[in-house]
Structure 1
Amino acid sequence: MATLNVPESSKAVKGRTQKPLPRVDLTAMVDLAFLLITFFMLTTSLSKMKALDIAKPVAVNPPIFADYPASRTMTILLGKNNQAVYYMGETAKAIMKTVDMKSLKTEILANKRMVERTHATPKDKEMLVVIKPTNTSNYKNFVDAIDEMNIANIQSYAIDDKYIAEKEKTFMKSKGI
């Protein structure tokens, strides 16, 4: 509570009744202030931006190539109608398989287990996934593929939206993806 102090004169006037001091109760205002503070703190914490962290490399000339075994590389091509094509290894020797986006997670986990079984050192057990969205794929499938990387705990994945090999294009065209 708050009170408003009014200074009194030193002399009392005879015959007049003394007026009580005016009091202003600010309890409701304090309660309202705390409610507003709580409300705005809650709304700012609920409205945090949900975004994916994607880092794409900067183009350098000449390009730098890292030595990474093809046996640890999985390539995923995103197509239309919630379909994808995946393969392990090099494009020239690839055995491409089609999969729908709902069962992509099982294929990623199966290939990850295969890589972990076939390689000896912990550094070599890490699988690299190259995600290639095509012109016919949609944004939802791309986000789902990135989410699957996080769910499957794939530490190394790359997004290659510039280069799709002819073999990949012809396979996708033959499957209608």
Structure 2
Amino acid sequence: MAELNTGGDGGGKGGKVRSKKMNPAVDLTAMVDLAFLLITFFMLTTTLSKPQSMPLAMPDKDPKKDTPEDVLKIDESRLMTILIGKDNTLLWYVGKFGEYIVEPEQAEFGKDGIRQILLKQIARANAITAREGKPDEGLIVNIKASDKANYKNLVDILDEMAITHPQLYAIGDITDPEVELLQEKGLY
């Protein structure tokens, strides 16, 4: 049982002798119980912070499922590839590797770097598909990280995809010729 005693012990030496007064005692047991009940209530009713995650659809790894009829033909003018190199560097191009529509260029992360490039390429792809009578088709971005890239760079480029909203984006495996291209540019 918790108690709160107030007042002194009435004692110093000397002086007048006074009659001893009773010290009031306050029982704090009920207040302690109430405090623990409130703490328990608020702990159980508050929501814990939910992990922040981005939905990412990954293709099946079963190569037997892909038949020639299942393979989707993509217009190369709508295909943009982003290669992530070392030290927060990016290299991007449009078209097939070696048959570029836009030659490989280096870019920086951020709103003045890859975001502006993505927005321009999305507008370019939308203009092309609108002329062809396919307004629902847009830019397709293939993201490929080298083994020298760090995890933060991959998350940053996925954030840029969420901000710019290309029609489709995917994470792919980087090929040996693409690694050689990064080495030529000094980004590997």
Q: TM-score, normalised by structure 2?
A: 0.70
CA root-mean-square deviation: 2.2
Partner of 1:91: 97
Counterparts of 1:70 and 1:155, CA distance in 2:
14
How many residues are matched?
149
Equivalent in 118, 135, 153 of residue 128 of structure 2: 118
1:91/1:165 contact within 8 Å kept: no
Equivalent in 161, 169, 173 of residue 149 of structure 1: 161
1:64-109 superposed Cα distances (whole Å, 9 cap, x missing partner):
4211111111100000011011011111212111112231111111
Misfit runs of 4+, over 6 Å: none
SS at match of 2:92: strand
2:119/2:164 contact within 8 Å kept: yes
Are residues 1:45 and 2:48 paired?
yes
Q: CA deviation at 1:37?
A: 2.0
Are residues 1:137 and 2:149 paired?
yes
Equivalent in 169, 173, 176 of residue 183 of structure 2: 173
1:78/1:132 contact within 8 Å kept: yes
Deviates further, 137-146 or 97-106: 97-106
Q: TM-score, normalised by structure 1?
A: 0.74
SS at match of 2:116: helix
1:128/1:154 contact within 8 Å kept: yes
Counterparts of 2:122 and 2:34, CA distance in 1:
58
Runs of at least 5 residues in structure 1 that lack an aligned partner in the other structure? 1-24
Partner of 2:5: none
Partner of 2:40: 36
Q: CA deviation at 1:26?
A: 5.2
Counterparts of 2:119 and 2:30, CA distance in 1:
62
2:82/2:142 contact within 8 Å kept: yes
Partner of 1:105: 115
Q: CA deviation at 1:53?
A: 2.1
